Structure 1
Amino acid sequence: METGILSLMGKYRHRAGLAMVLMCLSMSALMPDKLRTFQITGEAQGTTYAITYYAKRQLATKREIDSAFKSLDASLSIYDPSSLISRFNASQKGIEMDLHFSKVIAKSLQIYRETGSLFDITVYPLVRAWGFGTAAPVAMPDSASIRTLLECVGSDRLEIQGNRLLKTGPCVQVDVNGIAQGYSVDVIARFLEARGIADYMVEVGGEIRTRGLKHPGGEPMRIGIETPSATGFAAPVIREVISIGDGAVTTSGSYRKFRESGGVRLSHIIDPATGFPVRREIISATVVAPDAITADGFDNALLAAGIDGAFEILKTHPEMQVYLIYKKPDGTIADTASAGFGRYIVR
């Protein structure tokens, strides 16, 4: 780290997650035969984005990046009433998908199956009922209303037929906020690579993908993982610094985005089996995977699975490594990780 730290404060509107800290930003000598540092920042998807890439000349512009986000939002944003996903939610039977929607839905259904339904994009009616959707509810839902909403929940109520996404009834609605930012990171990364950029870091709302090295020194790019303090949830601190090489890292955390009811913190992560917010010992799940859509799709599910359940899921996914921060019965904070995660930690 040469010029300071950029703190990425979670998922903002779309989903809660632990903040990550980019440690890759440095200025290079502005000589025509040297790689230069280019940085593009802005706001998109209800949060911020930051892109750093290294090249001899400018190969990607903010206008192009913003245009890519606009295209993504037109497909995947539940906050845009004219988006494709909003039109699906308002439809009676379903709609024809574009490429973005098709890829995210296909991956979502795959992760739904591979996590035993812990990751389920059809929880949107429940998400809204608990106050984590586009508008806060008038009152917290009771058990009877939850049972009614559960009749509309379950990704087995979705069916892909060619380019169309169909649903079993008009009350079935989807929310891809738990995976869309990871997909967006991958889209931007592919755009940079198509421009011939071999060294970069892309971050959207705390979801990160890196490739190559930081220049001019050729050092590995570093990412800091934040955690709550050992005594509470008020002051996050850097717990670990990692370097993942070519790949992606995302974090889902229950301590930033929540609501309170009767003095109880309600997580934004909803259990699709019960309809109620998840209450697990894990407060943060950081996933390293080859691409951001995979990491982003699994981090919520691993958090909801609990420690034993998370490691059970990982048995069939050797391409992923995970770092879990959890709260012990005495209130102190501890951590654990998959066997391969240690290779990423910067000692």
Structure 2
Amino acid sequence: MRAVLSRRRFLAITGAAVVAGRVSDAAPVARWQGPALGTLAEVRLVGIETPGPIFAAIEAELGRIDRLFSLYRADSALVRLNRDGVLARPDPAFLELLTIARSVHHATEGAFDPTVQPLFALHAKAAAEGRAAQAGDLETVQRAVGFERVTFNPQAVRFLRPGMAMTLNGIAQGYASDRIAALLRAQGQRDVMVNAGEVMAMGQGPTGPGWAVRLPGTEVRLRDQAVATSHRMGTQIDAKRGIGHIFDPSLRNRGRDSFVSVVHDSAAIADAISTASIVMENKLLKSFDSFGAKILLADAKTL
């Protein structure tokens, strides 16, 4: 079953949106758009007159990332891992992303867990059959959930239990924005906005100060920072029963029905924390201050 509305498409409509400055005030901006990880990615570069070579480098890097982390192509490294339970000689970027994921998994006390993919698949199958997932099936599938049962090193990534599978959709889009920003920084670009599903902004933006990004209920200005926004129903698995794409790995918490945005220096970390925040209590979200993250709720409240 295909989701009613993909999370990233949902966010493009109602979540983070970069605000264009007035034409009379704005510096010239080169704009690139293209597919990445199941969404439409966008890059804006201020003051670029001949962007062709830069655009080609962006496309190549996003293609590489897509071949690693996409759930939408049969030849991706992630799909092969889910199929076989092991991925030999993983790309260094795959290991880097899993390392970031593990750090957020620990920081959120397990609320962020990429191994919830079997829960997604179970609910999607039940919804396609016009029914709710059965309690017994949920208990069985939940035994295959647990990021601590994933081992990874330069030799291999392995699942330690049968039936396990991962989704990196709660972190890979942010990671893609980080990677493109790093690529452009290495090429001397200092005034850039990257949105591969989550926004990473560098420099002043076309009108300054910083890049204006509209979020549900508020607007922020980003300069050398990222923002990610999540909502439990960003992808609707079963709209009738209120089943969305973000799950509490412990199955104890249905999750909040509001947007959560996270500002951080890393788009990957912002992405993962915003995902986990959907199933975490407000008092626990305050602990992310020490992680360098600012949490924004849809009512513009800052935790």
- TM-score band by shorter chain is 0.7 to 0.9
- 1:224 corresponds to: 214
| Bigger-Rg structure (1/2) | 1
Q: Distance in 1 between matches of 2:178 and 2:241?
A: 36
Superposed displacement of residue 130, structure 1: 1.5
Q: Distance in 2 between matches of 1:17 and 1:279?
A: 24
Q: Which has the higher strand share?
A: 1
Superposed displacement of residue 156, structure 1: 1.1
Q: If the length of structure 1 is used for normalisation, what is the TM-score?
A: 0.77
- In structure 2, the residue corresponding to 1:178 is in which secondary structure? coil
Is 1:279 matched with 2:254? Answer: yes
Q: Structure 1 165/272 Cα, relative in aligned 2: closer, same or farther at 3 Å? A: same
Superposed displacement of residue 315, structure 1: 4.4
Letter paired with 2:296: Y
1:324–1:337 Cα contact (<8 Å) kept:
yes
- 2:98 corresponds to: 105
Identity of aligned residues (%): 22
Question: Which aligned segments of 4 or more residues in structure 1 are displaced greater than 6 angstroms?
Answer: none
- 1:71 corresponds to: 64
Q: Structure 1 225/315 Cα, relative in aligned 2: closer, same or farther at 3 Å? A: closer
- 2:201 corresponds to: 210
Unaligned runs of 5+ in 2: 1-5
Task: Work out which structure has the larger RCO, using CA pairs closer than 8 Å and 6 or more positions apart in sequence.
Answer: 2
Aligned-CA RMSD value:
2.7
Q: Which has the higher helix share?
A: 2
- 2:3 corresponds to: none
- In structure 2, the residue corresponding to 1:336 is in which secondary structure? coil
1:29–1:36 Cα contact (<8 Å) kept:
no
Superposed displacement of residue 92, structure 1: 4.1
Letter paired with 1:142: Q
Matches within 5 A, 1:1-347: 11-12=8-9, 18-24=14-20, 36-59=28-51, 60-131=53-124, 137-138=128-129, 139-205=131-197, 207-215=198-206, 217-226=207-216, 239-260=217-238, 263-274=240-251, 278-311=253-286, 313-317=287-291, 319-325=292-298, 334-338=299-303
Letter paired with 1:74: R
Superposed displacement of residue 220, structure 1: 2.7
Q: If the length of structure 2 is used for normalisation, what is the TM-score?
A: 0.88
Q: Distance in 1 between matches of 2:24 and 2:205?
A: 10
Unaligned runs of 5+ in 1: 1-8, 227-238, 326-333, 339-347
Q: Distance in 2 between matches of 1:192 and 1:148?
A: 45
Letter paired with 1:214: G
Letter paired with 2:215: I
Q: How many residues align?
A: 296
- In structure 1, the residue corresponding to 2:124 is in which secondary structure? coil
